[in-house]
Structure 1
Amino acid sequence: MNTNHFEFWPSSLSKSLTVPQTTIYDNLVISAKRYPDKTSIYYYGKSITYKQLLEEVEILAGYLEKSLGIEKQDRILLLMQNSPQYLISFFAILRLRAIVIPINPMSTTKDIAFYVNDCEIKHALVGQELYDKVKPLKKDTTLKNIIVATYSEYIDKNKVTNNFPTEVIEKPQPLSEDISWSNALSEAYQADYYNGLNDDIAVIPYTSGTTGIPKGCVHPNNTLQANTVGGALWLNVTADTVTLLTLPLFHVTGLIHSALAPILSGSTIVMMTRWDRDYAAEMMEEYGCSHWINISTMLIDFLSNPKLDNYDLSSLRTIGGGGAPLPAAVGEQLYERIGLRYIEGYGLSETISHTHFNPPNRPKLQCLGIPSFDVDARIIDLVTGNELGINEEGELIVNGPQVFSGYYNRDEENKESHVELDGKLFFRTGDIAKMDEEGYFFLVDRLKRMINASGFKVWPTEIESILYKHPAVQQACVVSAPDVKRGETVKAFIILKDDFIGKITENEIMEWSRNQIAAYKYPRIIEFTKTFPTTTSGKILWRKLQNS
C-alpha cells in the first residue's frame, strides 16, 4: 500500500477512522434528541424540524409494519424524486430493519419490473408523478402494495413561484386501489421496539447497467456509516452547516453527502426536486448554503448563468462532487468567479459513494483525489494483474470499509469483480487510472470506453478536458465513430456557449484541437448539438450519442 498521500492528509484528521457500530437510523434518532427544534429540511418554502422528521418516520414505519406486514430484510422499492417523503420513507424502511431498493425515477415500467422481479419486491413507495409506471406491475409481478406520495403536501403553497417544478405543485390525485401518503400517516400505528444492528443490510442500489444487466449492490449499515461519518469529517460538515441538495437521492453520492452526512451532523438540508440554476442560486443566497456537492454538468450550467453575479454566494465554503471528471478549465472558472477550489472525489455504487477525495486544503484539478480513510487503492496491469508503479496506467482496484458485500444473487459476477493481492480482497472498479508521485489518483477513462484508433489507445476524458479549454465550448462529449482506414476514430459532440452560436464552425474547433492534441487523438469529426442525453444524476449518456 502506497502511503505517499499521507503527506497531504488534512492535518486536523486522523489517518484511520473507527466506524460507529450504530445504524443509519440511529443517526437520525440521536440528531433529533440533540436538535429537536432545529430545521432538518427546507423544501420549497417550508421547514421541517428534526423532531417532526423523526415523528413522521415513526408513524410511517408503524403503518408499514402493522398494516402492510413488512418485516426485517423485506426489500422495499423506493421510487421518488427528491422530497421530504423520500427521506421519511428511507428511514422508515430502515426503522423496520427492511431494505431500501432505490430506483432511478427515469426508469420505464419494463425497467422497474426487472428490479421488482430481481428482488421479489412486494411493497413500493412511489411519487405520484411516477405511479402510472408502477401500477401495471401489480398484475404480473410480486408487487402487491403501493403507497403514493404527493410532494405538494410538504411545500408552502403561499410561496409558489415559477421556479417550482411541476411535480412539486401537483395536487393529490384520487386513488382507486392503492394507498395515499396522507392516509398512511393518518393512522396511529406504533412500530415494535427497534433493535437494529450495523451489519443489517440497509440498501441495495443498482448499477446503471450501461455495460450489461443492472446489478444490485448489497450494503449493510456499516458500509454506509463508513462513508457517512468519513464524508462528514472530511468536508467539515457540522451542526451549523447548510447543504444544498441537488443530486438525486437514489444516487449514492447525493444520498451520502447531501442527506446522510448532514443528518448525522444535525445540520440543515435545502432540498431541490429538480435542478434549476436560478433557483439553486436563490436558495444559496436565502438560506446561506455553505456546502454543495454536485456533478460537473450541474456546475457547468450554474457557472454559465448570465445572472450569476446578481446573487450573494458568499456563504459558500465547500463545492465538490464526483460521478464525472470536472474539466480543469471549469475548475479554474469556479475559482475565478466564486473563489473556491473544486473538491473532486471518486466512488461507485459498489462503494456507496467515495473511495477517494481531494484534500480540501490541497485539491488538484481533474483528479480523483487520495484514498479515503482506511482505503487501500492500487493500480494493476490489465493483462497480468500485477501491481503497477507511479504514473503507470491500469485498472483501479480498492479495498476499504465502504466496499459492498457483493452483488445481490450474482455469484459469478462477485467472483469476476474481485481480485486478491497481498492477502487482501480488492474490488475491481473497471476504471483505468494512474497514481502520481504524491499519491493522488487520476482517472484515465472507463475501461469499456476506450477508442482504438489505428491501434492507438485514445481515452475520451483526456480529449474532453482539452476541448473545454476552448472559449466557445460549454460542454463536450467524445465518443468513437467507425472509420474505414483507422477502424475507429475520434468524434466530439459539443454544446457551444451562447455567445459563440453561429459565430464559429466545427472545422475551426477541429483545427484548433489539432494544435493541442497528438495527431492520432484529435477529433476527426465534430458535431454541434444543443443538449446531451443525461442520467437523472447528470452523467452524460455517451453511449446514446455514440449510437445516434
Structure 2
Amino acid sequence: MEKVFLVDKGTVYTYEKLLADLNNKRTESPYLYVEHNHPYKVFLAIIHSLLFDYPIEVLDGDFSEEEIKELGINRKALMTSKKINEHTLFMNMEEVMKRIYEVDKWQLTLYTSGTTGRPKKMSHSFHTLTRNVRVHKKYEIDVWGFAYNPTHMAGLQVFFQALLNQNTLIHIFDESMKRVPELIKEYTITHISATATFYRNVIPYLQGKEYSKMKRVTFGGEKFDLSLENKMKIVFPNAKMINIYASTEAGSLFAAKSDTFEIKPEYRQLVMITPEQELCIHRSLLGNSISLNSDWFHTGDLVEMIDETHFKFQSRQSEMINVGGYKVNPSEVENILIQVPGVIDILVKSKKNSVTGELLIADVIKNEQMDEKELKKEIKKFASIHLQEWKIPRIIKFVDKLPSTRTGKKVRK
C-alpha cells in the first residue's frame, strides 16, 4: 500500500505521486505564489527548490494585488520561471531525503503576518528552519493534523517535521470544525499543532469524546491558555501537551510543558531580557536578511522572568492597552473570562475614550444554549471577582466569529 503524504479535503496525495511530480517538474521559479495556499502545491514547490538548491520566496496566496505591489514585486515576476539545466531523476524518497540534506546555499524567504503594518521579509536556511526538527525511526508512523497556513513559519515547522520523517499530513486548517473529529478518527491523527484560537473553535466538537491515540498536542503562535490545556487533556488523555515559542525571524526556539519556557544551556548567552521585560534574541539565531543596529533583535514580546533560565510569555508589547494610566494585558483578561461557563472564545480590545483614554471591549462567542442577558451578567460578576477594576471590560458584545490573521491568530482591531 502506498504511503500517504497529504490528505486535503478528501484528496489523497501519496509519496509516490510526490516523487513523480518532483521528477516531472523541470522549471524553477524565484517566487512561490499559490492561490488559496493549496498545501500540496506549496509543499511540492518548496521540496523542489531544496532538491535543486535554488532560493525561493514564499508569498501568501491570499495577498491582494495591493499588498503584492507594496512589497515591491511586479505581478508578472510571479509567473516567471526558467528551465533547470541539469535535471536529476530520483528513484525513491530515500534519494530525495539524501539530496535535501546535501543542500548548500538554499534559502527560503517568507513574510511576517503583517498584523501591525506592512509584512516584513525574512530569509532562512535549511538549518534555521529545521533547528528543532526531531528525526528518528520512532517518529515514522506519526500522523499530523496540519492546522496552520502552509506559507507561514508555524506551518513550515510542522511540514519539515513531517517530511523529514516521511509522515502523513492531514490538512485541517481550512476544514469545518465539525469535520475535525471525523478526520482525527478516520486517519488516526497522532499529533496536532495549532494556535489556541484553533483549539478553542474545535473543542466544542471534541468534548464528550476521548481520542486515546493522540500522542502530542502542540500550542503555538499565541499566549498559552492553561484552562484550554485542561480541556484538551480530557479529550486527549494520553497526549503530551507542548507549548512552543517561535517567530518568523528566528523559527522555533523554546518549548514548554505548560506556560513556563526554559532557556537551554546552548541559548543562555544568546537570549537577553531588557529592564522593560522585553525578550531579545541574538542575531546569530535569526534568519539572514534582517537589518539590526546592534547584535540583539527586539522581539516585541513581553515576558516574566521566573528565574535565570525560565520565563513566561505575557503579551505583545504592541497589544498593551492604556486604561486611565494603567497598562492592561488583553490576553490576561481573556484567560480569566474564558473560564466563565458558556464562553467559547473571547477577544479583548480597546476603544478610544475621552475620560480614560481607552476602555476595554470584549467580543464573545457563546455557547448556543446560553441566554445572552444571563451570560453577560455572569461575565460581569466573574470579572468583578477576579479582575482589578481597570481590567474589567465595559462593553460586552456577542459575535459569531472573531477576526483572525492568515496564520489563525486573533486580531485586535
What SS is found at the alignment partner of 1:265? coil
Q: With the length of structure 1 as denominator, give the TM-score of the two structures.
A: 0.66
CA distance in 2, matches of 1:441, 1:273: 30
The 1:111/1:89 distance shift into structure 2, 3 A limit, reads same
CA distance in 2, matches of 1:237, 1:293: 19
Match of 1:533 in 2: 403
Report matched runs for 1:52-71 at 5 Å: 52-60=17-25, 62=26, 64-65=27-28, 70=29
Consecutive unaligned residues of structure 1, counting only runs of 5 or more, are 1-35, 121-136, 148-183, 383-393, 408-413, 420-424, 544-548
1:374 aligns with 2:266: yes
287, 290, 301: which one aligns with 1:404: 287
- Contact kept, 8 Å, 1:478 with 1:490, in 2: the verdict is yes
1:487 aligns with 2:357: yes
277, 286, 292: which one aligns with 1:415: 292
1:103 aligns with 2:59: yes
CA distance in 2, matches of 1:488, 1:461: 16
The CA deviation string for residues 347-399 of structure 1, in whole angstroms up to 9 with x for no partner, is: 111112x21111xxxx22xx2632368333332123xxxxxxxxxxx101124
CA distance in 1, matches of 2:275, 2:138: 38
User: Relative to structure 2, which stretch is displaced further, 475-484 or 500-509?
Assistant: 500-509
- Contact kept, 8 Å, 1:76 with 1:99, in 2: the verdict is no
- Contact kept, 8 Å, 2:33 with 2:60, in 1: the verdict is no
User: Quick one: which amino acid aligns to residue 244 of structure 2?
Assistant: G
User: Quick one: which amino acid aligns to residue 111 of structure 2?
Assistant: Y
Q: Rg bigger for which structure?
A: 1
CA distance in 1, matches of 2:379, 2:100: 62
What SS is found at the alignment partner of 1:479? strand
- Contact kept, 8 Å, 1:237 with 1:261, in 2: the verdict is no
User: Quick one: which amino acid aligns to residue 396 of structure 2?
Assistant: I
The CA deviation string for residues 478-535 of structure 1, in whole angstroms up to 9 with x for no partner, is: 1122222222222222111222143525354223201111122222222222211112
- Contact kept, 8 Å, 1:227 with 1:402, in 2: the verdict is no
- Contact kept, 8 Å, 1:434 with 1:441, in 2: the verdict is yes
255, 265, 278: which one aligns with 1:395: 278
What SS is found at the alignment partner of 2:292? helix
User: Quick one: which amino acid aligns to residue 249 of structure 2?
Assistant: E
- Contact kept, 8 Å, 2:143 with 2:170, in 1: the verdict is yes
Q: With the length of structure 2 as denominator, give the TM-score of the two structures.
A: 0.87
The CA deviation string for residues 32-82 of structure 1, in whole angstroms up to 9 with x for no partner, is: xxxx9533233444544434312312321x1x15xxxx5xxx444455424
CA distance in 2, matches of 1:488, 1:237: 52
CA distance in 1, matches of 2:405, 2:343: 21
Match of 1:23 in 2: none
Report matched runs for 1:428-507 at 5 Å: 428-437=298-307, 439-507=309-377
CA distance in 1, matches of 2:173, 2:384: 42
The 1:439/1:522 distance shift into structure 2, 3 A limit, reads farther
The 1:372/1:284 distance shift into structure 2, 3 A limit, reads farther
The 1:43/1:494 distance shift into structure 2, 3 A limit, reads closer
Report matched runs for 1:196-215 at 5 Å: 198=103, 200-215=105-120
172, 184, 197: which one aligns with 1:297: 197
318, 322, 334: which one aligns with 2:220: 322
- Contact kept, 8 Å, 2:145 with 2:170, in 1: the verdict is yes
CA distance in 1, matches of 2:43, 2:19: 10
- Contact kept, 8 Å, 1:507 with 1:526, in 2: the verdict is no
Shift of 1:223: 0.8
User: Quick one: which amino acid aligns to residue 348 of structure 1?
Assistant: S
What SS is found at the alignment partner of 1:255? helix
30, 33, 39: which one aligns with 2:4: 39
What SS is found at the alignment partner of 1:204? strand
- Contact kept, 8 Å, 2:6 with 2:168, in 1: the verdict is yes
User: Quick one: which amino acid aligns to residue 201 of structure 2?
Assistant: D
- Contact kept, 8 Å, 2:110 with 2:151, in 1: the verdict is yes
The 1:505/1:254 distance shift into structure 2, 3 A limit, reads same
Q: Which has the higher strand share?
A: 2
CA distance in 2, matches of 1:211, 1:405: 22
Identity of paired residues, percent? 21
Match of 1:275 in 2: 175
CA distance in 2, matches of 1:52, 1:508: 54
- Contact kept, 8 Å, 2:342 with 2:375, in 1: the verdict is no
The CA deviation string for residues 252-298 of structure 1, in whole angstroms up to 9 with x for no partner, is: 112212x1111111222223461322322112111211101111111
1:284 aligns with 2:184: yes
CA distance in 2, matches of 1:80, 1:529: 26
Consecutive unaligned residues of structure 2, counting only runs of 5 or more, are 90-98
Aligned residues: 401
- Contact kept, 8 Å, 1:345 with 1:368, in 2: the verdict is no
User: Quick one: which amino acid aligns to residue 292 of structure 2?
Assistant: K
The 1:400/1:375 distance shift into structure 2, 3 A limit, reads farther
CA distance in 2, matches of 1:373, 1:206: 30
140, 161, 168: which one aligns with 1:261: 161
